[in-house]
């Protein structure tokens, strides 16, 4: 039996223990607090309250798309980021942060242009990429960055 991974629930941000082998087999598992699926193939909308559980406390790497609703390139990349979420989960959690609504988070990570993606592992920024990317490019970049 393998050690469990800590996974933050996309619905309530509760930390859950999930067996590593079950996650490796594909998305699965439900939150012990609210019963929501731990992975559903879609990016999670994150605000300041949910950022810590997903970025710092979860064992799953977190890829965050910092965006704004008025940004044309952000709108163009949104379906590609959605597609990448369906392909990368459960190995990587994908999330979106609206920089208009979450200015404190945008400031904390010195977001100067959007869209900007930041890949986190255990609360540390391990890579950053600005500009529009398609789903294949997102997957390739994440794979190279994580060594997979």
User: So what's the pLDDT on residue 71?
Assistant: 97
Provide mean pLDDT across the span 84-93.
95
Query: How much is the pLDDT for 22?
Result: 73
CA distances from residue 41 to 14, 44, 63, 95, 107 in whole angstroms, order as listed: 18, 9, 13, 11, 28
Note the pLDDT tens digit of each residue in 31-54.
999 999 999 999 999 999 999 999
Strands (E), 20-148: 44-45, 62-67, 93-98, 116-121, 124-130
Closest residue by Cα to residue 105 from 42, 46, 45: 46
Q: Does pLDDT of 28 surpass 90?
A: no
Burial class (CB in 10 A: 0-12, 13-18, 19+), 112: exposed
Active site residue 9: no
The mean per-residue pLDDT over the stretch 86-101 comes to 96
Residue 23 confidence (pLDDT) above 90: no
Band of the pLDDT at 2, cuts 50, 70, 90? Answer: low
98 Cα distance to chain centroid? 13
Q: Please compute the mean of the pLDDT values over residues 100-109 and round it to a whole number.
A: 96
Rounded Cα distance, 62 and 44, in Å: 10
Which residues on neighbouring strands pair with residue 98, listed in sequence order? 67
Catalytic residue among 9, 12, 34, 71: 71
Q: Is 71 a catalytic residue?
A: yes
User: Does 1 score more than 60 pLDDT?
Assistant: no
Domain residue extents for the chain: 41-146
Predicted pLDDT of residue 142: 97
Q: Is 41-146 CATH 3.90.550.10?
A: no
Q: Which two tokens stand for residue 17?
A: 């223990």
Q: Is 147 helix (H, G, I), strand (E, B) or coil?
A: coil
49-69: per-residue pLDDT in tens?
999 999 999 999 999 999 999
Between 132 and 147, the higher pLDDT residue: 132
Label residue 100 by pLDDT band (50, 70, 90): very high
- Is pTM beyond 0.75? Reply is yes
């Amino acid at each position: 039996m393998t050690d469990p991974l800590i996974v933050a629930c996309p619905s309530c941000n509760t930390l859950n223990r999930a067996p590593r082998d079950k996650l490796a087999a594909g998305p699965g598992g439900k939150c012990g607090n609210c019963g929501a699926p731990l992975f559903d193939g879609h990016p999670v909308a994150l605000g300041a309250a949910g950022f810590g559980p997903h970025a710092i406390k979860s064992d799953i790497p977190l890829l965050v798309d910092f965006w704004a609703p008025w940004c044309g390139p952000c709108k163009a990349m949104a379906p590609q980021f959605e597609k990448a979420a369906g392909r990368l989960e459960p190995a990587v959690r994908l999330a979106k942060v609206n920089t208009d609504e979450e200015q404190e988070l945008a400031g904390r990570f010195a977001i100067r242009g959007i869209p900007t993606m930041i890949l986190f592992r255990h609360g540390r920024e391990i890579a950053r990429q600005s500009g529009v990317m398609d789903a294949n490019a997102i997957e390739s970049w994440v794979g190279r960055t994580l060594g997979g």
